Amino acid sequence: MPNEGAPEPDTVDLIQKLLDSPPPPPRVSEMGRVEEGGDGVAIVTGLGAALADEVLEFASGVKGIVFDLEPGRLGVVLLGPTENVVPGETVRRTRRVVNVPVGAPLLGRVVDAIGRPRDGQGPIETNHRRPTEWPAAGILDRRAVSRPLATGLKAVDAAVPVGMGQRELIIGDRQTGKTSIAVDAILNQRETGVYCIYCAIGQRGDAVAKVIGAIREGGMMARTVIVAAGDEDAPGLVYVAPYAAMSMAEAFAAMGHDVLLVLDDLTHHARAYRELSLLLRRPPGREAFPGDIFFIHARLLERAGQFGEGRGSITALPVVETQAENLSAYIPTNLISITDGQIYLSPRLVRRNQFPAVDLGVSVSRVGGKAQARAFREVAGNLRVTLSQFEELEDFARFGTRLDEDTRARLARGAAVRAALRQPERDPMPAAEQLAILIAATNGLLDGLDEDRTWRAMDAIRHAVREDDAGLAAGIAADEPLTDAVRAAVVARAREAVETVGKADDADA
């Protein structure tokens, strides 16, 4: 009778095989110690062989990045809670740089700056990872910007067009609608197949939640990645967030996809970097920012572009905040010089209830005009001139001077064109509807209407174009010029729509 409790033959064979096999080679682990810690940084000693940007792992489980290499000590930026790191704690080298998960499993997810899920939907199932720092593509690997990226906003698509692969800055004071423009641009990609990444940098949690809710309600969450590094997170995570988002975008572009990347906003990013630099005793420069503040944004935004050889594109919409309309401040000036144009949102237009508050006199697109549809160029070419002349006349008319008929007509036309550029949030328009409203405004169909009637007239024009656009949408898609026949047909449909609104008002009266 076999002995109860005796090992099974397979177990005996396994034990004997392990005893006969050579021992594993020793694992060399370089260890150091924390000398100082606090406020998002730590000073580590005993790791003389560590490299710049290498990830270190603390005994408490917090990770950090080597920022400063000094004789006998390292300046480390923490990627976790500072209170968990105490002096005397051991630190281990990992011999790798910061990397994040990339690929399709990220779509529809909310992650932090190093790719950890924050939406409660479980782990991200992917083995593909990419370093957050990566060299920008060379000149020979790029192609010219030649395809439009429609934002669905009349003021942008008509006067400040954005092309796929462009870097267009969104700039303005607080509460002028910068995030709203970026979110509407994301929502307008429902039918385009463009993947979107929204990177919240140093934003409040409730603000990020509103953006996530808007994207989910707009039906774009399945093709969007949310990277969130809030103001409650460690400044190291806020610093890493835009680079992580760019790496995720590069992975999609390498697979041939077009990507829209929103960085909201780089003002908080610059402040987080300034905070870390001052804590590590780096020499301060202008406004206490370190000397390489320009470089950290240049090397980030240079990674966007239109790529060739089967690769897609990365269109970057960085956001930056100004104070008291000061466009010549340090960080805004840097970003204006790095990007391919800017969409400036004016608080003066906000006070006039003009949304989106795009100031066409200051906004410019240095590349996107080459990718704009010819029909848009023909209609929108006079928008800037019409509005600038209108604003001059409007200022002049405030003095109560008597005006002739021609001047009053030009004032009415300018007011109608400005009103036609108004658009509610979360309502991006197809190109044909935008163009029809602009044609109606420039042809005088909206002259003299009050605000309420203008809104209803624009809605009626949109409905008329949906029923029959006279070939307008097909011409835009084929990049054909706007023919006189199509223009006349659109004007006729728009006039019918405006007259219908007028008859309804007369009937109600």
Q: Which residues are catalytic?
A: 366
- Cα angle for residues 389, 394, 396 (degrees, 5° grid): 100
- Is the separation of the CB atoms in 21 and 65 below 8 Å? no
User: d(Cα 108, Cα 113) in Å, to the nearest integer?
Assistant: 16
Q: How many CA atoms lie within 13 A of 78 on its CB side?
A: 26
54-58 vs 63-70, strand pairing mode:
antiparallel
3-state secondary structure 11-29: HHHHHHHHHHCCCCCCCCC
The torsion of the CA quartet 80, 81, 86, 90, rounded to 10 degrees, works out to -20
Closest CA to 123 of 101, 92, 155: 101
H or E stretch covering 456: helix 451-467
What tokens were used for 351? 């006070």
- Cα angle for residues 338, 342, 347 (degrees, 5° grid): 130
What tokens were used for 401? 């001077």
If you ran DSSP here, which 8-state letter would residue 284 be given?
B
